[in-house]
Structure 1
Amino acid sequence: MADCNEMSQQSVSHYVKNVTYAICQVAAEFIKFPSPAENTLMRDFEEVAVMPGIIGCVDGTLIHIKSPGGPDAEHNRGRKVFFALNVMAVCDANMVITNLVVNWPGSAHDSRVYRESGLCAALERGEYRGVLLGDKGYRCDYYLFTPLRNLVTAKDYRYNAAHAKTRNLIERTFGILKRRFGVLGKCLRTEL
């Protein structure tokens, strides 16, 4: 970007930081669960694979960053060896992100990021009716369903097939996000 616009790297980093800060200031207006009055989440999800009661699909993705330096830098080294942020997102049936958590180091497990999120706390307080779908890396609980591990009956297999089809929405959402904003698929070199 600096080369194309004849700007110094320092200037570009300054502008990126300012724009990022501005986006963070208004993010809550756009990334949020619908209010009960406008809530069609369960109906929309049921149309995907006939799974009732679903209000979102959750997963984490690693965003590659340069080493932040300092004594705690290694906490940012993710399971894929590079320095990263572990970003948790929840999407609706239309692949719209309804919850986003971006403040965890790459070494944090997806399940921990979820358990300590404001969304998990809101679900536990009963602010939202319904459940999320997560992959096998999450702990199954009252508010988050995961695939069954020991499949015995045809019903178990049908549940896992419907779960996979529905939960795939968050994988596709991350794919779209990383294609649209290609920098997310590369190493972010801006100071965070």
Structure 2
Amino acid sequence: MRQIENDKCFNGPNSNLQLTVQKQLAITLYKFGVDGSGSSVCNVAALFGVGDGGTVMKIMGRVIQAILMLQPKWITWPNTQERLKIRNFMSDKLPGCIGYIDGSHIPLDEAPIDDPESYFTRKQRYAIQIQAICDNEKRLRNIVVGFPGSVHDARVFSRSNVGKSSNILLSEGEWIAADSAYANSKYIVTPFKSNASLGTARQRKQFNRIFPGTVLI
């Protein structure tokens, strides 16, 4: 709570009419953490004794805004020195690897009004895409959120800031480990497929044996 309590959204001209930051954060976390009918804004409003569903949405909007303002502080791309440390740590496992990438879905309770088909996933539900890159200590170093659920992981990466600026954000010989949903490139490396011919069969098998246990997302 201390991280967000001084955000301007809680200290505006009408801030004296707001609930305490502690209660606003509690309402937001509860709404995010409960599934099903219990998560409806009306139920949350009744549980916490606030005016109505509209009040809950305003509270969530303020808390989300305040949390997003913290992103540059906590989620940063590793600089040259940090990447060198990661490379040294990974040298006997996956030489040159400085991060691990994967995509996932954030389910939506209902279909979006605009272009709902784009949000319908292969798992037969509506969702938006989230893609994350973490380092060897499982710290998030980059997040991309907002693409429709039907968008392929490889496309999300190609349109992300890391995908567009890999030659700037990665030094020569550095790469990111990914699963087979991504396309192999100079900066993205996936496990060997069954029809691969690079190296020997033993080398490919050994690489794949190490690779899946190293990708942590």
Q: What TM-score comes out, normalization by structure 2 length?
A: 0.71
Question: What percentage of residue pairs aligned between the two structures are identical?
Answer: 26
1:4 aligns with 2:47: yes
Letter of the 1:78 partner, please give it: T
Of 187, 194, 205, the match for 1:157: 205
Of 89, 94, 99, the match for 1:44: 89
Native 8 Å contact 2:162 2:169 kept in 1: no
Larger RCO: 1 or 2 (CA < 8 Å, sep 6+) = 1
Once residues 71 and 111 of structure 2 are traced to their aligned partners in structure 1, the CA distance between those partners, rounded to angstroms, is 24
For residue 9 of structure 1, report the CA deviation from its aligned partner.
2.5
1:140 aligns with 2:188: no
Q: What TM-score comes out, normalization by structure 1 length?
A: 0.79
RMSD: 1.8
1:114 aligns with 2:157: yes
The verdict on how the C-alpha distance between 1:160 and 1:73 changes in structure 2, with shifts beyond 3 A counting, is same
For residue 3 of structure 1, report the CA deviation from its aligned partner.
3.6
The verdict on how the C-alpha distance between 1:69 and 1:127 changes in structure 2, with shifts beyond 3 A counting, is closer
Deviations 1:18-75 (A, max 9, x none): 211222233122111122233322223346xx11101110000101013353341221
Aligned partner of residue 126 in structure 1, secondary structure? helix
Matches within 5 A, 1:1-192: 1-7=44-50, 8-39=52-83, 40-46=85-91, 50-67=93-110, 69-123=112-166, 125-129=167-171, 130-150=174-194, 153-167=201-215, 169-170=216-217
Once residues 88 and 164 of structure 2 are traced to their aligned partners in structure 1, the CA distance between those partners, rounded to angstroms, is 24
Q: In structure 1, list runs of 5 or more residues that go unmatched.
A: 171-192
Aligned partner of residue 132 in structure 1, secondary structure? strand
Once residues 82 and 90 of structure 1 are traced to their aligned partners in structure 2, the CA distance between those partners, rounded to angstroms, is 24
Once residues 186 and 144 of structure 2 are traced to their aligned partners in structure 1, the CA distance between those partners, rounded to angstroms, is 21
Q: In structure 2, list runs of 5 or more residues that go unmatched.
A: 1-43
* Count of aligned pairs between the two proteins: 166
> For the pair shown, which has the larger CA radius of gyration, 1 or 2?
2
Deviations 1:119-151 (A, max 9, x none): 11221x333221001101111111000111136
Once residues 144 and 16 of structure 1 are traced to their aligned partners in structure 2, the CA distance between those partners, rounded to angstroms, is 36
For residue 80 of structure 1, report the CA deviation from its aligned partner.
1.1
The verdict on how the C-alpha distance between 1:164 and 1:89 changes in structure 2, with shifts beyond 3 A counting, is same
Deviations 1:92-138 (A, max 9, x none): 11111100000201011111001111011221x33322100110111
The verdict on how the C-alpha distance between 1:17 and 1:156 changes in structure 2, with shifts beyond 3 A counting, is same
Letter of the 1:126 partner, please give it: I
For residue 165 of structure 1, report the CA deviation from its aligned partner.
1.3
Aligned partner of residue 69 in structure 2, secondary structure? helix
